[in-house]
């Protein structure tokens, strides 16, 4: 699905990612854990093509395509989805309008026909039902006045509607209490399937109790220093990042 090789990236000339390698196969869920400042969010922005993140070396192949030469919206159309750590507010634009815009933009780029208002409504209603969400959220402006939990659920709803093949979840657990976390995780799990890969970025192990990954990687100082299965996350929790960082340095 996605193959990242020797990825180097800098922000304002300061190197953040320093030779990151990661390969994720179809249907796999990988988790990246790491201390603050390790480059976790940088990775998610580099993959999604945010301005200000300069790739200085390395390659990213996404379904055989060079991801790095695409505009952000083209990456979205290619099937990449980023669930934001801090979802953005857009006053006056309802969730419904936003979703319809996004879906139809993606469909046009993918060469599919646009959905008309009725078809779209049907689709969205089905998705909200699947995720156990209320239709009220659709009528409200994008993320305006949403609680932390609502914002994260909204991200999952967008993911469900856009049906990406590869989703990056950037600290989806941040700012959530345990109940909200469970709900969001259920939503994510409902979207797991053989055709869809995910990269779960998190600081804490607890999210991985609910979204169980196939592989866990530890990111420190811009590189992946250790990889393992879900047990690695538990060790990490016990041992702490400091010990890992030391080992990485050694």
Partner 1 sequence: MAATAESVAQVEEIRKYKHGWETDIEMETAPKGLSEDTIRFISAKKEEPDWMLGWRLKAYRHWLTMEEPTWAMVDYPTIDFQDIYYYAAPKTTEGPKSLDEVDPELLRTYEKLGIPLKEQEVLAGVQGAPKVAVDAVFDSVSVATTFKKELESHGVIFCPISEALKEHPELVRKYLGTVVPYTDNFYATLNSAVFSDGSFVYIPPGVRCPMELSTYFRMNAKESGQFERTLVIADEGSYVSYLEGCTAPMRDENQLHAAVVELITMDDAEIKYSTVQNWYPGDENGKGGIYNFVTKRGACRGDNSKIRWTQVETGSAITWKYPSCILQGDNSVGDFYSVAIANNAQQADTGTKMIHLGKGTRSRIISKGISAGKAQNTYRGLVRMGPKALNGRNFTQCDSLLIGDRCGAHTIPYIESKNRTAKVEHEATTSRISEDQMFYCRQRGIGEEDAVALIVNGFCKEVLQELPMEFAVEAQKLVGISLEGSVG
Judged by the rule CB under 8 A, the positions of this chain that interact with partner 1 are: 48-51, 71-73, 75-77, 81-82, 84, 87-94, 96-98, 100-106, 109, 114, 117, 120, 141-142, 158, 162
Between helix 117-130 and helix 148-162 the angle, nearest 10°, is 120
Shortest Å, Cβ 140 to partner 1: 12
**Shortest spacing between CB 88 and partner 1, in angstroms:** 4
CB of 141 to partner 1, least distance (A): 7
CB of 49 to partner 1, least distance (A): 8
Contact in structure between 180 and 152 (CB atoms under 8 Å): yes
The nearer residue to partner 1, 71 or 231, going by C-beta atoms, is 71
DSSP lists the bridge partners of residue 200 as 31, 169
Contact 203, 218 (CB under 8 A): no
* Terminal C-alpha separation, the chain: 32
Kindly tell me which of 31 and 70 has the beta carbon lying closer to partner 1: 70
Nearer to partner 1, 70 or 225 (CB): 70
* Of 78 and 220, CB closest to partner 1: 78
Residue 199 Cβ, how far from partner 1 at the closest point, in Å?
Answer: 15
74, β-bridge pairs? none
**59 in the Ramachandran plot: left (φ > 0), alpha (ψ -120 to 50) or beta?**
beta
Q: Within a 10 A sphere around the Cβ of 1, how many other Cβ atoms?
A: 20
Comparison of 101 and 247: residue with beta carbon closer to partner 1:
101
CA 189 to mean position of chain CA atoms:
13
CB-based contacts of 95, cutoff 8 Å, min separation 6: 137, 138, 139, 140, 141, 142, 154, 157
Answer left, alpha or beta for residue 12, where phi above 0 means left and psi between -120 and 50 means alpha. left
Nearer Cβ to partner 1 (171/232): 171
Instruction: Of 229, 195, 200, give the one whose Cα is nearest residue 215.
Output: 229
- Cβ 149 to partner 1, closest distance in Å? 19
């Amino acid at each position: 699905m996605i193959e990242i090789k020797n990825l180097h990236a800098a922000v304002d000339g300061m190197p953040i990612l320093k030779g990151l390698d990661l390969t994720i196969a179809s249907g796999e869920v990988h988790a990246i854990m790491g201390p603050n400042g390790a480059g976790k969010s940088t990775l998610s922005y580099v993959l999604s093509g945010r301005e200000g993140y300069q790739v200085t070396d390395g390659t990213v192949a996404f379904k055989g395509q060079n991801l790095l030469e695409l505009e952000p919206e083209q990456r979205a159309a290619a099937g990449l989805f980023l669930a934001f750590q801090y979802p953005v507010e857009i006053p006056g634009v309802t969730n419904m309008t936003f979703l319809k815009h996004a879906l139809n933009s993606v469909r046009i780029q993918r060469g599919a026909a646009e959905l008309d208002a009725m078809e779209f409504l049907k689709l969205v209603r089905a998705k909200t039902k699947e995720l156990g969400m209320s239709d009220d959220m659709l009528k409200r402006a994008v993320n305006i006045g949403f609680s932390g939990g609502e914002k994260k659920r909204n991200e999952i709803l967008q993911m469900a509607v856009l049906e990406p093949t590869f989703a990056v979840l950037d600290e989806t657990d941040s700012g959530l209490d345990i109940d909200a976390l469970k709900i969001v995780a259920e939503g994510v799990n409902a979207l797991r399937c053989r055709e869809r890969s995910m990269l779960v970025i998190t600081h804490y192990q607890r999210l991985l109790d609910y979204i169980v990954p196939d592989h866990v990687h530890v990111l420190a100082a811009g590189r992946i220093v250790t990889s393992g299965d879900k047990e690695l996350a538990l060790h990490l929790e016990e041992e702490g990042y400091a010990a890992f960082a030391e080992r990485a340095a050694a």
